[in-house]
Structure 1
Amino acid sequence: MKRKAFLFCLTLIAQVAAISTDASTHEPVVAASPDRVTPAIKLPVLGQLPSLAGATQWLNTEALDRARLRGKVVLVNFWTYSCINSLRQIPYVRAWADKYRKDGLVVIGVHAPEFDFEHDVDNVRRASQGLRVDYPVAIDNDHHIWDAFDNQYWPALYFIDAQGRIRHVKFGEGDYAASERVIQQLLTESGAHDVGTGLVAVDAHGPEAAADWSDLRSPENYVGYARLTGFASPAGIVTDRAHHYPAPSALQLNQWSLMGDWTMGRQAAVSQGTGGRIRYRFHARDLHLVMAPSTNGQPVRFRVTIDGKPPGAAHGVDVDSQGRGVVDTARMYQLIRQTGPVVDRQFDIEFLDPGIRTFAFTFG
């Protein structure tokens, strides 16, 4: 089965009601219930809950199986912690888990890794804590649960009723109001009383904030040769061995290039000395780069510019206004968040220490 990331071009714009939030706590608040109950949605039976036995480990719980979940409404969320689409959905999944736990909802995050470093359970545990994910997480390092569901996307939501039947599926971001209505209906069907009919709202920050879909013209792209597009180095691609990449004369939108000494592998490009650089011409409010420290675990310092200047107010949460940052853990780093008009920009990142591993660019 082909496993692929859920690309932004397939992602739907979120449809979320305009509801007040408590900005002081950044926690979800529940809107007032409408005067009438929302009519029931016709939800067909799409299959039975597959086995969860393929999990190599569980976080935040003892191992769960179909017997322990019998009589519960279950929401299964396939995610991986360096995926921007997963990160932007997490605030809603987290809010639903909090709101409907008392009504009998069990949320299970199935962490199915995309990159090698996401197989490290300590990395997943650290990321889950940082994201305030306190519901059960199944570590699906071998993609056994992924295959049992015949899943193809990050993120994906599977809604299971109290009889263990899959009643609804949602791939990608968005449609949060519709997804919550499904949860409410399945809980009501299960016999839960006084299930709230209001919708959660989230006050998401940093990478969790919704993308600026109206001005997003740059797709997710990979730095390893297995899935890259738009590579515009004058030297072309040299795989699996060290090579010196000269600077390009110019880049068109969504073209990029390595500069300096790099080894391009299937998943990642690894810098072979100090001063390695990447240049990317993009059109988006946000620019992120999935990175990991050097193979010996030493942090790697970097500096970013936008159109040849420090980012200033356009810096992301992982850099300062001068564009300075440090890669100290394997994860996605938000490098640019523009505050002004979104136009075509040239992004540069220079690594001041050797050994950085760069995996994928994402935008928002």
Structure 2
Amino acid sequence: MNASLYLAAFSGGALTLLSPCILPVLPFVLARTGRPFRQGTLPLLLGMALTFAAVASLGAVAGGWAVRFNQFGRAAALFALAISALALLSPRWADRVTRPLVRLGDRLSNHVGRDTGWVGSVLLGVATGLVWSPCAGPILGLILSSAALAGPGVETSSLLLAYAAGASLSLAVALRAGEERFAGLSARLRSSAWPRRVLGSAMLAGVAAVAAGVDTGALARLSLDWSNGLEQRVLQALPMGAAAADTVAGGAKGADGPRGTPSGLPVEPIRPDLSGAVNWLNGQPLDLQQLRGKVVLVNFWTYSCINCLRTLPHVRAWAQTYAGQGLVVIGVHTPEFAFEKETGNVQKALKRLGITYPVAQDNDFAVWRAFQNQYWPALYFIDAEGRVRHHQFGEGGEVRSEQVIQALLREAGADATAAAPVVPDTRGPGLAADLRNVRSPETYLGYRQASGFASPSRIASDRSKVYTLGRLGLNDWGLKGAWTVGPEFVQLDEAGGAVAIRFHARDAHLVLGFAAGHGPIPFQLTLDGRAPGADHGDDVDAEGHGAIDATRLYQLVRQRGSIDDRVVEIRFLDAGARAFAFTFG
């Protein structure tokens, strides 16, 4: 394997020190400060690195049983770390609760001064490695993608070990640099109660953060904007380059081999079932049993979801390119909003979006539950024997997804020669998001999920009220005029009302519609108080004129120059307009 990839893996691990996802495990690492480096920090970091590499290697290639095993290991490690933290807070209380586990906690936390040496540090490192979930940036994503497609092997484990070694080295350097600050900490832990309680509280906070998923949720989102960009620059600076990175991320085992070559992809613990669909469009109902011998791609989507719309060009292209080689693409339309349940609306969307492959309407979420799905969009890759072999949650990963399709087709006996990825038509909302410049989240306007409302007066649920626009901070939105705020949308009661938001992104979209008996409804858009000019979106002209012609997603803004904070305001010329959610890209 290219040595540059090992360097990238090591560099990505080292950069985790700058990522918020390292915060929950720092108290566990600090629990061994004050000891000699070779007895405390070094064995702890070695245990952490080896455990992370082993568990990540297993999870990347071994399927569902490995995931369940890892979940059990994480739970056990969290329990042991919590006992250790409680022992620091109140040794007498912990001893009364359970003496055997407290002895383990004593050894892990080293709070009673017992010299367990490097063994206790390694055990604490193993527990930390089981619970550590680094923010999955481009480098770790590249490694895990390669692992899942290439199958188990020394290279997969070596890359993950290089990543963990980079993280461990950066932690070691940071701790060594600050060792004077930690000098005497061990003695204080033995002689004074308050340092033990502070460290115990920090460890409990770390356990709670990991158990609640903060390390993989909120902290991971905090890191996306700048750390992902930094990792991407590392990848581009290395000799492997972006093209080689795409090849590694997408290269499936056996992609260039003879027909019938095993793909090396694991079998996922999902029993796919389409029988819960309430209706089928673009064809007769399909049964996965009837499709045995075919490779099936199932795409969960909904037509007002911008992430889904950015994935669709690739799904359409794969359906056209590989249909003759045995690929069947099935869309599962699972609605987010009530208007997306209406068959007529979905049919119009299929025509507008150029979707000709079969689509199942999953209004009751029965198919969604059968796949244990949680995301829009979500792609599930099913082999010729009806088994789920791969998935892609969210947009992105197109090169890897296409390589998976090719690998499964070859495994089924098709002559799917690996070739350059398809180049779909990505004009309009289909263009990939400019993630480096997205500083604004999806923003719902209905009171059920509303956030960031900044009009001077509070929301009045389910009744008409006149609002005024106040000063908008970044990601704040407000209303002007007479509006009724419902659970899913806001509805204009008198002509001339407006909705506005301050955002930071290349693209701004808004899901719009109109009440029964209204529409089409014209609107006027301004960007920072002026016509948008060259920065207008597909559904608005340069003067800011647009119209609501159906309940769907409208692209309002696409900035052509530098990306700055902007205020977009949409004034509706007739009553009855409905606004559901802003999205950005």
The TM-score, its normalising length taken from structure 2, stands at 0.56
Match of residue 37 from structure 1: 256
In 1: Cα distance, 2:372 partner to 2:416 partner:
35
Give how far 1:83 is off. 0.3
* Alignment counterpart, residue 289 of structure 2, candidates 67, 87, 103: 67
In 1, Cα distance between equivalents of 2:538 and 2:313: 17
| Amino acid corresponding to residue 263 of structure 1 in structure 2 | T
Q: Quick one: distance in 2 between partners of 1:108 and 1:246?
A: 46
Q: CA deviation at 1:332?
A: 0.3
What is residue 107 of structure 2 aligned with on the other side? none
Write the deviation string for residues 158-211 of structure 1: whole angstroms up to 9, x where unpaired: 000000000111100111111111111111111112444331122310111111
CA positional deviation for 1:287: 0.7
Conserved? CA contact 1:184–1:197, under 8 Å: no
Q: CA deviation at 1:68?
A: 1.5
Equivalent residue runs for 1:178-217 within 5 Å: 178-217=400-439
Q: 2:445 aligns with which of 197, 213, 223?
A: 223
Number of residue pairs aligned between Structure 1 and Structure 2:
339
Letter in 2 for 1:80: T
How big is the shift at 1:99?
A: 0.8
Please give the residue correspondences for 1:1-364 in structure 2 after superposition, counting only pairs within 5 Å. Answer: 37=256, 42-248=264-470, 250-364=471-585
State the alpha-carbon separation in 2 of the partners of residues 294 and 60 from structure 1: 28
- Between the aligned partners of 1:247 and 1:56, the Cα distance in structure 2 is 43
Offset from partner CA, 1:132-163 (integer Å, 9 cap, x none): 11111111111110111111110000000000
Give me the whole-angstrom Cα distance separating, in 2, the residues matched to 1:208 and 1:66: 29
Work out the CA distance in 1 between the residues paired with 2:343 and 2:518: 16
Q: Equivalents in 2 of 1:262, 1:140: separation in Å?
A: 32
Q: SS of the counterpart of 2:459?
A: coil
1:233 and 1:246 in contact (8 A); partners too: yes
Using the alignment, how far apart are the partners of 1:86 and 1:107 within structure 2? 15
Write the distance in 1 (CA, Å) between the matches of 2:291 and 2:493: 50
* 2:171 match: none
Give the direction of change, closer, same or farther, for the CA distance of 1:55–1:297 in structure 2 (3 Å limit). farther
Greater fraction strand = 1
Post-superposition, which runs of at least 4 consecutive aligned residues in structure 1 deviate over 3 A?
Answer: 7-15, 38-42, 194-197
Higher RCO (CA 8 Å, separation ≥ 6 residues): 1
Partner of 2:55: none
Which amino acid in 1 is paired with 2:529?
G
CA distance in 1, matches of 2:566, 2:399: 34
CA distance in 2, matches of 1:213, 1:121: 33
- 3-state SS of the aligned residue for 1:157? strand
In structure 2, distance between residues paired with 1:173 and 1:204:
13
For 2:527, the aligned partner's letter is I
SS in 1 for 2:289: helix
Give CA-to-partner distance per residue, 1:61-90, whole Å, 9 cap, x none: 111012211111100000000000000000
Matches of 2:372 and 2:353 in 1, distance apart? 27
In the alignment, is the contact (CA less than 8 A) between 2:441 and 2:583 conserved in 1? yes
Q: Which residue of 1 aligns with 2:106?
A: none
Conserved in 2, the CA contact under 8 Å of 1:51 and 1:66?
yes
SS in 2 for 1:97: helix
1:33 match: none
Paired with 2:365 and 2:434, the residues of 1 have a C-alpha distance of: 32
AA of the residue aligned to 1:155 = P
Partner amino acid, structure 2, of 1:37: D
CA distance, structure 2, for counterparts of residue 303 and residue 143 of structure 1: 37
SS at 1:142's partner residue? Answer: coil
Q: C-alpha separation between the residues in 1 aligned to 2:441 and 2:563? A: 15
Cα distance, 1:49 vs. partner?
Answer: 4.1
Q: For the Cα contact (< 8 Å) 2:270–2:372, is it kept in 1?
A: no
TM-score (norm 1): 0.88
Say whether the 8 Å CA contact 2:306–2:583 is kept in structure 1. yes
Which digits, 9 at most, give the CA deviation of each residue in 1:97-116, with x for residues without a partner?
11110110000000001111
Partner of 1:31: none
Alignment gaps of 5+ in structure 1: 1-6, 19-35
Partner Cα separation in structure 2 for residue 297 and residue 120 of structure 1: 17
Bigger helix fraction: 2
Partner of 2:75: none
Once residues 263 and 157 of structure 1 are traced to their aligned partners in structure 2, the CA distance between those partners, rounded to angstroms, is: 37
Over the matched positions of the two proteins, sequence identity in percent amounts to 53
3-state SS, counterpart of residue 511 of structure 2: strand
Q: CA deviation at 1:350?
A: 0.5
Note if contact 1:103-1:195 (Cα within 8 Å) is conserved in structure 2. no
Letter in 2 for 1:129: K
CA RMSD of aligned residues (A): 2.3
Q: Secondary structure at the match of 1:186?
A: helix
Give the Cα–Cα distance (whole angstroms) in 2 for the partners of residues 67 and 226 of structure 1: 40
Amino acid of the residue matched to residue 256 of structure 2?
V
SS of alignment partner, residue 200 of structure 1: coil
For the residues of structure 1 that align with 2:286 and 2:337, how far apart are their CA atoms? 25
Shift in Å, 1:41: 5.3
